[in-house]
Structure 1
Amino acid sequence: MARQLEEQIVGRFPVGRRLRVLDVGMGRGARALRLVRAGHRVTGVEQDPASIAAAREALAGEPEGIRERMRIVQGDGRDTGVHFLPGSFDVVLCHGVLMHAEEPDALLAGLARMLAHGGMLSLLVRNGDAPAMRPGLSGDWAGALANFGTVSHGLTRLTATLAGIGAPLHTWYGVRVFTDTVPDGAVLPDDMDTLLAVEERAGRTDPYRGVAALLHLCGVRG
């Protein structure tokens, strides 16, 4: 995800430009801190108090020049219009949030309004086109059968949604193509660099990316 996001930022914006970034659902702030360290100004939105506390603790250990470029707001992303003016950000991130939203289309429309002209909306969602792949590859046949058609956020629907909110799909990737069945807490392999290279290649290559566990979609505000 970090490599994919960096690729899109480098390819879309002038080198050295300090971007205004909104990270909705920032979690413990690792992604936001990475961007702040790269020179950008980041506003993180998160509703979980424990995650906010962890993000603030991590930020406190950074130099003053980095701390002053990051702002943390408590919220769930639906009230961006209250906190920010339309067109306030060059990049809006919404990773792992959409699948939990009661009204995902309304949330997306609100986030798109936060983008400046030419700004980029980066989404990470479950792949609604392949929910049966994980249990099927694990030999859980009943689970695979039960998962057909259970997730609504497929590529076709999201492409239409992004077009409808004025941020048409620019590019997309698959995330966790081969590694999604690896158990939590598994020991990292010695050839981790090779594993990442395989996942990165598969995430941008058909037909592999189409059956990834997650989709990373980047729309651009016209």
Structure 2
Amino acid sequence: MARQLDEQIAARYPVGQRLRILDVGMGQGTQALRLARAGHTVTGLESDADMLATSRAALADEPAGIRERVTLIEGDGLETGVHFLPGSFDVVLCHGVLMYVQEPDAMLAGLARMLASGGLLSLLVRNADALALRPGLAGDWAGALDAFEADTYTNRLGLQVRADRLDALTATLAGIAAPLHAWYGVRVFTDLAPDGTPPPGDGDLERLLAAEDRAGRTEPYRRVAALLHLCGVRG
């Protein structure tokens, strides 16, 4: 999934362009480090002290040239205006965060203000229009019926969290001057794989990634993906 997101983001920019990236809710810093290794300058914003400590430890093991390209800050997505000037970044990532924010519109507006003109706001959200699919495929018929009209779900950590709908987020992005440029489905075929499932062998892994990538770009498959990747561009 991570490689899929990176490729979808990079497709907007010339090969080799070095980007200023803000990763909001960066977690353990996996994507931030990967982007720094690719030559980009990355600022990670994380409110969980334990996650931030894990990120700092991972960063400490990197070569000096990569460490110099990464800045880690304790804070959350509602505090971007405290830490940064408007227009400071070419790309703002907000992946797997909106499901934990009850009223995300104010945060999204703040993230859009951080973008330079032509900058990309990358959102990874749970697809509310496909919430019935996971319980249905697992044979949980009661859960599937309950999920058809739901905007919340219980995640794999056992937490009750939000999901988002494509139409609603499209309207939100237009309203914050970062209208939708492209969107993709993520985890079309692999959502039911248990946590910790090892990846298949090299040949099968490449075929799996190719199938996921194609489904994520193709109707009607992308509309039933577990997650949606939305890319808004600052006007």
Q: Aligned runs of 1:18-167 on 2, under 5 Å?
A: 18-151=18-151, 153-167=164-178
Q: Does 1:185 align with 2:196?
A: yes
Query: 1:78 is paired with a residue of what secondary structure?
Result: helix
Which portions of structure 1, spanning 4 or more consecutive aligned residues, are displaced by more than 4 angstroms?
none
Query: 2:11 is paired with a residue of what secondary structure?
Result: helix
Gaps of 5+ in 1: none
Q: Does 1:216 align with 2:229?
A: yes
- The share of aligned pairs that are identical, in percent, is 71
For normalisation by structure 1, the TM-score amounts to 0.95
Name the Cα RMSD after superposition: 1.3
Q: Does 1:202 align with 2:199?
A: no
2:2 counterpart residue number: 2
Seen in structure 2, the aligned counterparts of structure 1 residues 52 and 123 have a Cα distance that, compared at 3 Å, is same
Superposition deviation, residue 10 in structure 1: 3.5
Give the letter aligned to residue 48 of structure 1.
D
Deviations 1:198-221 (A, max 9, x none): 111111111000000000000000
> 1: CA distance between counterparts of 2:197 and 2:2?
21
Give the letter aligned to residue 157 of structure 1.
A
Query: 1:188 is paired with a residue of what secondary structure?
Result: coil
The answer to whether the Cα contact below 8 Å between 2:9 and 2:122 also exists between their aligned partners in 1 is no
Superposition deviation, residue 196 in structure 1: 1.5
Gaps of 5+ in 2: 152-162
Give the letter aligned to residue 106 of structure 2.
A
> 2: CA distance between counterparts of 1:10 and 1:188?
24
Superposition deviation, residue 49 in structure 1: 1.2
